[in-house]
Amino acid sequence: MTAAAEADPFAEMSAGTRRAVTFALLGCAFLGMLDGTVVGTAMPRIVADLGGDQTWYVWVVTVYLLTSTVTVPLYGRFSDLRGRRAPLLTGLGIFLAGSVACGAAGSVPALVVFRAVQGIGAGALLTVGMAAVRDLYPPHRATGLLRMQTLLAGMMAAGLIGGPLVGGLLSDHAGWRWAFLLNLPVGLVAGAVVVLGLPRHRPSRAGTGPVDLAGIVLLTTGLSLVLLGLALTGHPVAAQPRAWTDPRVAVALVVGLGLLAVLVPVERRAAVPVLPLRLFTRRTYAAVVAAGFFFQVASLPATILLPLYFQQVRGHTATASGLFLLPLMIGMVVGNRLTAALIIRTGRARAVLLAGAGLVTGGTVLFFLLGTTTAPAVVSCWLALIGLGIGPAMGGATMVAQFSVPGADAGSATAGSALSKQVGGVFGLACAQSLLAQQLAAHGASAEATSRAIGGTVAWIGGAAGLLAVVAVLVMRDIPLLAGVRQPPGSAGQRRQQEQRAVATDSP
């Protein structure tokens, strides 16, 4: 295969087919994200129907997060080596099989097992789907990239915030099993469009060699233990989250981090590593991955704890508390749209990401002022600021990650960016649960103390992580991501040269 063809293997696709495949890919990603949050409001009805205690209740949510996160780098890497189509369809098939099994589950332990299967498939949906969208919209298709980023922002915001609303509505009016079964028609349609519209393509420069079994085992086991240790801090003991020094938490974290440390020399010797460490020698890629982690640490406590504030302190219903988060969702969509437009217009991302980190920091720090009488309109403004700051991290960080490495590594780069955000979310949640418990233990559980504890937790974690995100963005090189976008499309070879020049500016 020639270099020109390698640069844009989908050049012969019609505009209609390209658009249909893009919507199918976004639909897959939406399903994977939605199922991470949809069961939260449905769990009381699930437990009432199937039985089970609080421990199983928590694991229905946690196990999906664990398996979907651990498989992200595997799918990303194999999509670089084998093409996007097969890993995506494999993940979608596993996800849909798990969804059907969840909908038919007869007990909570069975539901936990089937949720793990769902998560194994979900790891492909966002990672490989977004890498395929990057293939469909290379730098010279800037207009399509802008539309895609806007749709992606809406999808991610709807999945993050709309999931609890969808879960509540379905469990109240159609039965909780439909929260899983509705994945089937959407997923089958999306899969059919991918089969019919996405060309078969295997990169010609894919490495050859034995499967990196040692790397796969070390990566999945190490990540699983780290995530398990973080997740255990949210599993209550005597109505309190586990301490970081709890033996189960400490052992899982220490052993997991130790296995990940051993992974480094193993991957350096592997002929075809499952985790290409060379990507992290690129200053911009390493910095933007770190920035994505801190963005997520900073923003997640607000999305998790504010519904608690609206319900327990202000006395609103679960549905109303979800609606109060709409300013956050709107800010995310607007921020992402502005980010994509500015990056496409200027070809640069650092200033936009820096502004986003500043908004997240400022918006979260304002929650030090949260009290029992704080006007909802004021809280909405603070949430909107956080949303505007998250917007650049949602799309801008992924764009930087994808375009700061050679096209042959786009899947691994996308996976690394997604993985850092997911791990950041788990870490941020663990820190929030621990800090909130400490503050409630110190000051009591009155309405005023609870509001101060929630506001202080959001502010301390958001402010500290936001400042670290600022530092990470400042470390980035402001590489020309979309150099040559304003020029008329040239040959595929010329486009490949533009991409190589952009990546070369950040080479080790």
pLDDT (tens digit per residue) in 254-293: 998 999 899 888 888 877 777 788 888 888 888 988 998 9
Q: Positive or negative CA dihedral for 403, 406, 408, 411?
A: negative
Select the more confidently predicted residue: 481 or 87. Answer: 87
404 DSSP assignment: T
pLDDT (tens digit per residue) in 404-448: 777 667 777 777 887 888 888 888 878 887 888 778 777 777 778
Q: Residue 460's pLDDT is what?
A: 93
pLDDT grade for 497, boundaries at 50, 70 and 90:
very low
| Backbone angles phi and psi of 53, in degrees to 5 | -110, -175
Residue 338 CB: number of other CB atoms within 10 A? 20
pLDDT grade for 329, boundaries at 50, 70 and 90:
confident
* Tokens encoding 139: 């730098």
Q: Residue 499's pLDDT is what?
A: 47
Q: Positive or negative CA dihedral for 375, 378, 380, 386?
A: negative
Task: Report whether CATH 1.10.10.10 matches the domain 276-508.
Answer: no
Q: Residue 117's pLDDT is what?
A: 93
pLDDT grade for 167, boundaries at 50, 70 and 90:
low
Rounded to whole angstroms, how far apart are CA atoms 392 and 472? 14
Mean pLDDT of the chain: 78
Select the more confidently predicted residue: 176 or 123. Answer: 123
Q: Residue 493's pLDDT is what?
A: 41
Q: Residue 339's pLDDT is what?
A: 78
* Cβ proximity of 508 and 281 under 8 Å: yes
Q: Residue 471's pLDDT is what?
A: 94
489 DSSP assignment: P
Q: Residue 276's pLDDT is what?
A: 80
Which of the given ranges, 80-94, 143-157, 392-406, has the highest pLDDT on average?
Answer: 80-94
pLDDT grade for 294, boundaries at 50, 70 and 90:
very high
* Tokens encoding 1: 């295969």
Q: Determine what percent of the chain is predicted with pLDDT higher than 90.
A: 15
pLDDT (tens digit per residue) in 364-393: 999 999 888 888 889 989 999 998 888 887
pLDDT (tens digit per residue) in 202-228: 665 555 556 677 888 888 888 888 888
Burial (Cβ within 10 Å: 0-12, 13-18, ≥19) of residue 152: buried
pLDDT grade for 108, boundaries at 50, 70 and 90:
confident
Q: Which CATH superfamily is domain 14-197 in?
A: MFS general substrate transporter like domains (1.20.1250.20)
Q: Residue 193's pLDDT is what?
A: 92
Residue 327 pLDDT exceeds 80:
yes
Nearest to 186 by CA among 104, 96, 118, 116: 96
* Sequential DSSP letters for 264-325: HHHHHH-SS-SS-GGGGGSHHHHHHHHHHHHHHHHHHHHHHHHHHIIIIIT---HHHHHHTT
Query: Cα–chain-centroid distance for residue 96?
Result: 20
Cα separation values, 383 from 309, 318, 378, 508, Å: 13, 18, 9, 39
* Tokens encoding 364: 């979260």
Backbone Cα Rg of the chain:
22
Residue 465 pLDDT exceeds 50:
yes
Average pLDDT of the residues in 145-170? 63
Q: Residue 400's pLDDT is what?
A: 81
**Segment among 196-205, 265-274, 334-343, 494-503 with least mean pLDDT:** 494-503
Rounded to whole angstroms, how far apart are CA atoms 204 and 195? 21
Q: Residue 147's pLDDT is what?
A: 61
Residue 501 pLDDT exceeds 50:
no
Residue 65 pLDDT exceeds 70:
yes
Select the more confidently predicted residue: 259 or 163. Answer: 259
Cα separation values, 508 from 217, 279, 285, 377, 504, Å: 28, 9, 11, 48, 9
Beta bridge partners of 136: none
**Segment among 28-37, 86-95, 371-380 with least mean pLDDT:** 28-37
* Tokens encoding 78: 């194999």
Rounded to whole angstroms, how far apart are CA atoms 438 and 453? 9
Q: Residue 488's pLDDT is what?
A: 41
Residue 362 pLDDT exceeds 90:
yes
* Tokens encoding 406: 């050679």
Residue 356 pLDDT exceeds 80:
yes
pLDDT (tens digit per residue) in 303-316: 878 877 887 788 77
